[in-house]
Amino acid sequence: MRYERSSALFAQAKRVIPGGVNSPVRAFKAVGGTPIFIQEAKGAYLFDEDGNQYIDFISSWGPLILGHGYQPVVQAVQDQAEKGTSYGIPTELETKIAELAITMAPNIDKIRFVNSGTEACMSAVRLARGFTDREKIIKFSGCYHGHSDAFLIQAGSGAVTFGSPNSPGVTQGTAKDTLLATYNNVDSVAQLFKANPDEIAAIIIEPVAGNMGCIPPEPGFLESLRYLCDQNGAVLIFDEVMTGFRLAAGGAQQLLGVDADIVTYGKVIGGGLPVGAFAARDEIMDVLAPVGPVYQAGTLSGNPLAMASGLAMLTALHEQQEVFHRLADKTAYLHQGIEDILAKSRIDYQINRFGSMISLHFTDTPVKDFASAAKGDNQTFKKYFHGMLKRGVYLPPSAFESYFLNDATSYKDLDTTLEAFSETLKEL
């Protein structure tokens, strides 16, 4: 494949945008080379500025469950744009999507829309602190909840790519209130509660991690977190920015059978447009302004374009819940195909999968937390990424990311992907 146009656009972008990108993982720092620039996308495919076509395995980092350019979503955005793009005043759309989301997701009574997953998680922590009148939170090494200061004490994904898990600009005062635990390790959490009695407001966690690759929770792990929160008067926050309305209509809460106190959502709830939300039962949400004292606001919150797009997306998912089974089946098919090919090689590997999330790790150690994910052979991953890219398969450009399938991906696309993988493996 040729990338002359993308290379020229990247050089141009670097003159006016830091690093040439508006989110660090896009810069290809983890894999080397020049990022491709996308001109358009449709269904399961991306088309770059050089005319190359790719099967897309990131789906805009999760939200495009039904594929790019899903017509009901596109039509809803077009119809709303004709009526106006932003008001900063309430609309009926906000109530309609709120009612639908609450119907689909378990254990929530009210929802507040914001503008991003980062803002949703930041607001959820503030709400938990206000509700409990405590300051400390527990997060897990490798889990990523956006770039708010409280979450960048040790992060996964882009921060790991750049080798700076403790980000400059985060104050020591903020750091002291964020306690770090190990994913899938209940003892590490119990010890923090013991060392900080009556000080911990909340645990925040990705119920299925997606920012150190896909890492499912081990049996009993989330149930133990629920128990520890109940015993210690803390709030359990599920960051479902990736998993919400993707793994099931009710997200990870429904699929795993564990209720969180506060749940955060991301771009799925806006049909892929910039949006986020956080939700909880009445007694927690009623602490939020204008009802209660915990302040949170946003001029563009509940933006009508995002609400129209999200309502169309959630309506489709609500009416077509078989999509979650189809996606899980397709992901299992991909998993088995990769497994069959790798089993004939001498390469060390681990494949993690949960629903429509999957990741491949080049290591002989089971990947169950950030430390084990970091043991992967990044040089092999770089060759793997570029081998697949030149064969028309776009994967996350970092070993610390989950792949996200979308329903527009056909079994023929999966077979093409497996053929590309087999050819790439010969170069590793």
Q: What is the pLDDT of residues 303-350, one digit of tens each?
A: 999 999 999 999 999 999 999 999 999 999 999 999 999 999 999 999
Task: List the chain domain ranges.
Answer: 4-68+321-425, 71-319
Q: Is 364 exposed, middle or buried (0-12, 13-18, 19+ CB in 10 A)?
A: exposed
d(CA 132, CA 245): 28
pLDDT confidence of residue 267: 87
| 346-369 residue pLDDT tens | 999 999 999 999 999 999 999 999
**What is the DSSP-derived secondary structure letter of residue 144?**
-
Q: CATH topology of 4-68+321-425 equal to that of 71-319?
A: no
Question: Could you tell me which CATH number the domain at 71-319 has?
Answer: 3.40.640.10
| 120-140 residue pLDDT tens | 999 999 999 999 999 999 999
d(CA 77, CA 229): 41
Query: In the numeric block, which tokens belong to residue 108?
Result: 């929530």
pLDDT confidence of residue 168: 75
Residue 115 has pLDDT above 90, yes or no: yes
The set of catalytic residues is 144, 239, 267
- Backbone phi and psi for residue 43, each to the nearest 5 degrees, phi listed first: 60, -120
| 200-240 residue pLDDT tens | 999 999 999 999 999 999 999 999 999 999 999 999 999 99
Using DSSP's 3-state secondary structure scheme, residue 256 falls into: helix
Angle between helices 322-342 and 411-425 (to 10 degrees): 20
pLDDT confidence of residue 156: 40
pLDDT confidence of residue 154: 55
Superfamily of domain 4-68+321-425: Aspartate Aminotransferase, domain 1 (3.90.1150.10)
**What is the DSSP-derived secondary structure letter of residue 1?**
-
Contact 271, 246 (CB under 8 A): no
For residue 291, count other CB atoms closer than 10 A to its CB: 11
d(CA 17, CA 67): 29
Give the pLDDT band of residue 147 (cuts 50, 70, 90).
confident
